[in-house]
Structures are given as C-alpha cells and as structure tokens.
Structure 1
C-alpha cells in the first residue's frame, strides 16, 4: 500500500476503529486526491506537493474532531446518485435507501404519480423517486432554507425536476394539493438517546432534523399523518422511516387515525424501520 495510506491510518488509529480508519484512508486518497487503484494498492510512487500535504493535514484535523467525511468533501452517494451535502442537512443513510426501494418496488410500473416528501433535507428521497419513477411529479417540503437550496442543486445535478416549498409541518399553514404518495423521514430520535450516539452525528449533524422531545416522540408522525389524510388521493399511501423503538406505537397511532393496511417493515439490520399505510 502507498505510504500516505499507512500514514493516514496511523494518524486516525487512536480515535477510529481499524476498519473505519482504513475506509477513511481509502476515501481520502481516491475521492480527494484522485488516486488510482494502482497508486493505492501497488504503492506506486506518487509525490505529494506541499499544497497537497497541507490539504491532507487539514482533513486529518477535521476527522480528529469527528467531522463526517461527507461534510469535509461536500459529497455523498445515495442509491448510486451523487449528492452535495453540507452541515445544515442530514447525511443520507442506507436505511433511507431501503425506504425508497420499497416505494419504487410498489410503484415502478405506475404512471402519473404525484409524490410529496416532507422534511426533504438534502432532497435524497424526493430526487431518487423523481429519478426512478420518471413519470412522477415530485414536491419537497422543508423548514430549512439550507435544505431547500441544496435540494434544488441536487435535483439539477441529477437531471430531475422537484418542486420545493418552505413549510413548517408543525404549523397550521399547509399548502393545498393532492398526492398519490406521501413520504417522510422526520426527526425521531428522543433527547434521552443522545448519550448513546456517535460524536460524528451528535456534534455535527443538525439537531432540528434529528431530535424530538422525550415526552412526545411521535409528534411529527401524528402531524404528518393528519395532513396526509387531507392531501392523499383516494388510493394514496403514506410511507415513513421510523425510530426502531417505536414501531408498534407508530402502527397503533396510524390505525387510531383511520389508516388501514398498515405494514411495519424491518431494515437489513433487523430493526423496525419503515411503515406503509393507506389513507383513511
């Protein structure tokens, strides 16, 4: 392996597990410094300029502060699609990709779909659905200016059209309209769960996109379900990503609100993670 690869791992080894340090070293060299496989694995000579050394040291300092690598590069991938990410939005997760896969498998052959993504963040759900359900009209809501700006950039980058609106879903001023699919990955981590979280999430990702009060962990699910019941078409379906600790409680909430055919699904790690429900 290249000597710089070994140097990066050594620099991070006291703070990151071995496999994570190796993954970071590979990512830094291939994504930031554009190493080829031959450069990386054959240890082929590739001189680092003084400017490159300075850039590398800056990256290592930021990683030692547990800043996510995706924020350092400003880039991530979601279902094979490229996305810009910044500190104002959540980094897309594999579990969210599973939710999108579920929707696409349900609706891949349908035409003339109208999709509403509530709490869009980087736009990963809305943009992926616009890409993989190309006959759909997609609208994305978020309270954050940063999120909506980023969603517009990512939509353009991926060659899709997503209509963006600034909406506080907890308010009583909700735009009119109708949708076939309403999907949301809202804040769902309870404040008491902070103690068990990794620093790269807790110290860097936006709190308003992560946390809900301990005394009302389903607040966003309740409000979104209320609004979705008004906006969904007669055959419309609501999809959620959920806190694994509240799967059955979220099912019960939806059933109490008149939703039917409610289905709770586990993610690939075996945790309750997704819900699908038909409108009342």
Structure 2
C-alpha cells in the first residue's frame, strides 16, 4: 500500500474519535517515529510504499489510538518547554498550562543565580528539569511519592543534561523539608472527583489517578501541606508557585492569606482560566 493511501485510511479510522486536525497530527507524529520522515518527506515522495512489516507497526499504533491511549504513552515521549521527556503510565503527560508556570518562574528568576529550587510532586520531572536547564547556577531538588515516577524523572534529567536532586517522600507525611529554598513550586493533584465528567476518557483510562485527583471535601489538601512546609522552609523573600484548580482561585488566595503569605498573585492561562499562583513568604 502507498503511504499516502495509508494516511487517508489512518485519519479516516480516527476521525470518529478525534477531530481531523488531531488525527492528522497523530499521523505526522507516527510518520516521524516509525519512518523518521517529516511531512515534507511524504510530499517529496508521494509514491512511497509501506512494506507489510511497516503496515503491521502502523496498525498497532492505530489500534492503540482507537483505544484512546495517549500518543505520548505509545511512543513514551512528550515535549515540554523545548525539551524532550520520557513519559509512561506512572507519570502525567506534561501540559501547555504547566509550561506557562515554568515560563513565569524563569522570567522572574533567570538572572538571580545560585538560587535553591524545590519541585514538589515532580512526576516526569518536567518542571524541575526545565528549571535546572533555564535558571543559571540554580540548585534544583524534586520530591515525589512514586518510586516509579522518580525513576522516569532521573532518566529525564540525565537525557536533558541537568543535575537534579531527587527525593522519594510522601509530602503529606513530611514534617519539614530537607533545607531552605528560595523557590518552592508544585503542580499537585487538584482535580476533584466531581470534575471527572470534564476529563477526557483517554486521561481517565491511562494517566495516574494518584497524580490527578483529590477528594471533593478536601480539594486543597496538598496545597495546605505544601504552604505550611513553605512557611518554615522558604528563605526571606522566598517565593511559592502553584498550578491550581481553575475553580478554586478564591479559596487558594484565602488559604495563602491565612498562612500569612504576601504579594499573592493569581494568573490566568492561555485559555483564560485561573491556573497559576505565586506568593512571597
């Protein structure tokens, strides 16, 4: 079968589940992963033929996409803040909103040098590694409860040539942090069970619920604990950054005020949702 014919078949099979643009993006990603080709290569070689072995590999990818497995998990990689990260079912797939949080931190701190940074609930390590890559002379540490996630994060730090100190720790059980930090950042679990109806099926089926969901009656569980630890472990004028549940901005401001934080800023993401916060100790 000609590759361009298979392309039509591939997109046609996926369009009942995904919009045409997303289906085409899946084809282009698969083209690059399985054949090492860009779209322009296919345009330059319109009569290229897929062997039976190649069709078998393509069909396997197609079958997984039809089962709504995220393409990042199929190829075990995701791109975040200009870097490539390994991901699997033990780690969340990095989101564009989280890139905005990293961008905010980098812009505010890129020229400070020699600062100590802690990422709480690091998962794939995307925040910690990106900050280590982009903050001059920063010392970056990262905590996660999951041994499996930390193994992925360590490989990502190595792959991206960064030095991050990884710590296996249940943050909810921590009485203090290992040292004083200038920046503490976290994108903890914040989706309430009542919001599951808004979550895409591929996320519910494949991404780790441990890193996503909190109980409806205690949605700020992780934020309270991290804010409490930050009060005792941030340096003078140190800063706490959070990615947050878009529906709980007001509650987050109130909580941080109750802890005595100052200069609290609530920021919207590219979609217009309340998504990020920063506060000084």
TM over 0.5: yes
**Does the 8 A contact of 1:32 with 1:73 survive in 2?**
no
User: What CA distance in whole angstroms lies between the structure 1 residues aligned with 2:31 and 2:258?
Assistant: 52
TM-score scaled to structure 2, two decimals? Answer: 0.96
> 1:123-162, aligned counterparts within 5 Å?
123-162=125-164
* Kept after mapping to 1: 8 A contact 2:111/2:136: no
Give the aligned partner of residue 228 of structure 2. Answer: 226
Q: For 2:41 and 2:48, how far apart are their aligned partners in 1? A: 7
- Aligned equivalent of 1:83: 85
| Count of aligned pairs between the two proteins | 279
Matched, 1:176 2:178: yes
Q: Give the unaligned 5+ runs of structure 2.
A: none
Q: Is the 8 A contact 2:97 2:275 kept in 1?
A: yes
Cα distance in 1 for residues equivalent to 2:45 and 2:181: 54
Offset, 1:82: 0.8
Residue matched to 1:67: 69
After superposition, the CA RMSD in angstroms is 1.3
**Cross-structure match for 1:102:** 104
Q: Whole-Å Cα distance in 1 between the matches of residues 233 and 71 of structure 2? A: 38
Cα distance in structure 1, aligned partners of 2:109 and 2:89: 32
Give the secondary structure class of the aligned counterpart of 2:123. Answer: coil
Q: How far has the Cα of 1:134 moved from its partner?
A: 2.9
5+ residue gaps, structure 1: none
> TM-score, normalized by length of structure 1?
0.97
Q: CA deviation at 1:41?
A: 3.0
| Native 8 Å contact 2:189 2:213 kept in 1 | yes
